[in-house]
């Protein structure tokens, strides 16, 4: 008899799985590796120290919360030794980055184990659907038809993770596009979205920050909460939570005259219309995307390529 371990993208999916008639233990991967500095050695002491430093400084996560919420679950993962490991990660950037990190960990610490992934398909509008939108019957069918990763698939995911954690994101521009046989059907879009998180050469803000400004300017929101709710509903590939958008708004607060109601100030409108480049004002040496300093690269919208800045 085979034994099964399910690794999920979050507590919501874990709760869904607990209500399904499927066998196996469930581990929740509680991280958001798409934000802040990452290192390749997933699970090491240095890795977790790097992650705690980021979460503490950017989101005021206490050591107790980090230990209770993330590290205890990771230590529980380390105790598991099942025959088959089933990965439940959604299509968005948030989940895809977590997924390749988990595959990298499995490659190192669970050699020879059967690894399978469960991925949803598109809806009638050709948009990817999250697990939360599916019925029990649909989820069970996905579980039954799960995809087994080959050793090449595992090596590929690990390689993308290594590049994501490197100090240069430029190699990600092409390498993630040249594996048409890859079972990771959403990874290309996720990495493309990741590259657009570096500041635009046009106004110094990245794709997400520009979307926040344009959304705020296009509708009369009565409150910051209304704006965040709209951003969450319209975000597409990113898969962020409300705390991430709230944090972003704090970084951009000097471009707003008010959050209740939401109003851009004159500088915010100039930046939005590419009349003013805000790079110097928003730049930080402590801001990382994966292993790269966010403000050491510019995204060129005309070519969808990155430009490295010389110091």
Range of 255's domain? 207-282
122 and 264 within one domain: no
Q: Please indicate, yes or no, if residue 76 is contained in any of the structural domains.
A: yes
What's the 3-state SS for 205-249?
CCHHHHHHHHHHHHCCCCCHHHHHHHHHHHCCCCCCCHHHHHHHH
Predicted confidence (pLDDT) per residue in 4-46, tens digit: 999 999 999 999 999 999 999 999 999 999 999 999 999 999 9
Q: Please indicate, yes or no, if residue 287 is contained in any of the structural domains.
A: no
- Confidence (pTM): 0.96
Cis, peptide link before residue 103, omega less than 30° from 0: no
- 178 has pLDDT over 80: no
164 and 72 within one domain: yes
**Chain mean position to CA 121:** 19
User: Hey, what are 124's tokens?
Assistant: 């009638």
Mean of the per-residue pLDDT values of the chain:
95
Q: Please indicate, yes or no, if residue 31 is contained in any of the structural domains.
A: yes
36 and 14 within one domain: yes
Predicted confidence (pLDDT) per residue in 46-91, tens digit: 999 999 999 999 999 999 999 999 999 999 999 999 999 999 999 9
User: Hey, what are 120's tokens?
Assistant: 């949803």
Q: Please indicate, yes or no, if residue 40 is contained in any of the structural domains.
A: yes
3-state class (DSSP) for residue 288: strand
Residue 276 belongs to what H/E stretch? none
Task: Read off the pLDDT band of 181 (50, 70, 90).
Answer: confident
Over residues 251-279, mean pLDDT: 98
267 and 155 within one domain: no
- 311 has pLDDT over 90: no
124 and 70 within one domain: yes
- Please give the tally of structural domains in the chain: 2
CATH value at residue 272: 1.10.10
Task: Read off the pLDDT band of 124 (50, 70, 90).
Answer: low
């Amino acid at each position: 008899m085979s034994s099964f371990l399910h690794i999920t993208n979050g507590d919501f999916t874990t709760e869904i799985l607990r209500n399904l008639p499927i066998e196996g233990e469930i581990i929740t991967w509680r991280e958001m590796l798409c934000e802040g500095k990452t290192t390749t050695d997933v699970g090491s002491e240095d890795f977790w120290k790097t992650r705690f430093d980021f979460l503490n400084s950017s989101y005021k996560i206490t050591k107790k919360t980090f230990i209770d919420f993330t590290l205890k679950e990771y230590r529980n993962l380390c105790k598991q030794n099942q025959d088959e490991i089933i990965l439940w990660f959604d299509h968005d950037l948030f989940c895809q980055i977590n997924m390749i990190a988990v595959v990298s960990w499995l490659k190192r610490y669970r050699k020879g184990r059967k690894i399978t992934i469960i991925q949803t398909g598109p809806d009638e509008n050709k948009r990817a659907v999250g697990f939360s939108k599916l019925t029990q019957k649909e989820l069970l069918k996905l579980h039954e038809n799960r995809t087994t990763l080959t050793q090449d698939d595992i090596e590929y995911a690990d390689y993308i993770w290594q590049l994501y954690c490197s100090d240069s994101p430029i190699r990600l521009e092409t390498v993630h596009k040249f594996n048409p046989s890859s079972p990771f059907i959403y990874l290309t879009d996720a990495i493309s979205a990741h590259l657009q998180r570096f500041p635009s050469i046009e106004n110094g803000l990245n794709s997400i920050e520009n979307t926040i400004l344009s959304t705020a300017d296009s509708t009369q929101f009565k409150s910051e909460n209304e704006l965040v709710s709209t951003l969450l509903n319209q975000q597409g590939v990113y898969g962020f939570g409300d705390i991430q958008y709230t944090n972003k708004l704090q970084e951009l607060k000097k471009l707003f005259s008010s959050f209740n109601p939401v109003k851009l100030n004159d500088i915010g409108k100039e930046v939005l219309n590419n009349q003013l480049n805000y790079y110097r004002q928003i730049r930080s040496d402590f801001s990382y995307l994966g292993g790269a300093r966010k403000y050491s690269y510019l995204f060129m919208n005309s070519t969808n390529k990155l430009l490295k800045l010389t110091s």
